[in-house]
Homo-oligomer: A and B are copies of this chain.
Amino acid sequence: MTTAFADPKSLSHEELEEGTVFAPRFDAHGLITVVTIEEGTKDVLMVAHMNAETLALTLDTGIAHYWSRSRKAIWKKGETSGELQEVVELRTDCDQDCLVMTVRQTGRGAACHTGRKSCFYRSVETENGIAWLEDTGLPRLFDPKDVYGR
């Protein structure tokens, strides 16, 4: 059975923020932002988007499914790389326009297409109005060329 969601327009402000009705507020493109964190370490692995269909797929299968904005297609995370994400917990925020999903990262433990555990492998440094990036040293757990052929 496909999980359905309530229409946020049917809720009062109080119900939206304090109630028990799940009414995800998809944006003008039908998408909601999802922050995916790793069980245990709580490291932020990636930030991506879901539409109503892939949110339902995620809830119904327990495996993360996103919406690929670049490919305009359902994106079952890890379908190509084997790095599936098993859903441990899903939370919504006060105004229900964002989700935080805790997952068990399978495979080699790499959520990022670059082969690293997390997409957030560079820090922003600044000095005297100049900003640059520094590698935080996250190792590559796979070679993207081997996995994606490019």
* Residue ranges of A at the interface with B (Cβ–Cβ < 8 Å): 1-5, 17-22, 33, 35, 37, 41-44, 46-47, 59-60, 89-94, 98-100, 112-114, 119-124, 126, 128-134, 136
**In the complex, A122 Cα to B133 Cα: how many Å?**
35
The 8 Å CB contact of A59, one of B92, B98, B126, is: B126
| Contact A1 B92, beta carbon cutoff 8 Å | no
Q: How many copies does the complex hold?
A: 2
Collect the chain B residues with CB atoms within 8 Å of residue A124's CB: 22, 59, 90-92, 99
**B35 with A131: CB separation less than 8 A:** no
* A3 contact set on B, CB distance < 8 A: 126, 129-131
Query: Complex: how many Å from CA A42 to CA B124?
Result: 18
Q: Is the Cβ of A2 less than 8 Å from the Cβ of B98?
A: no
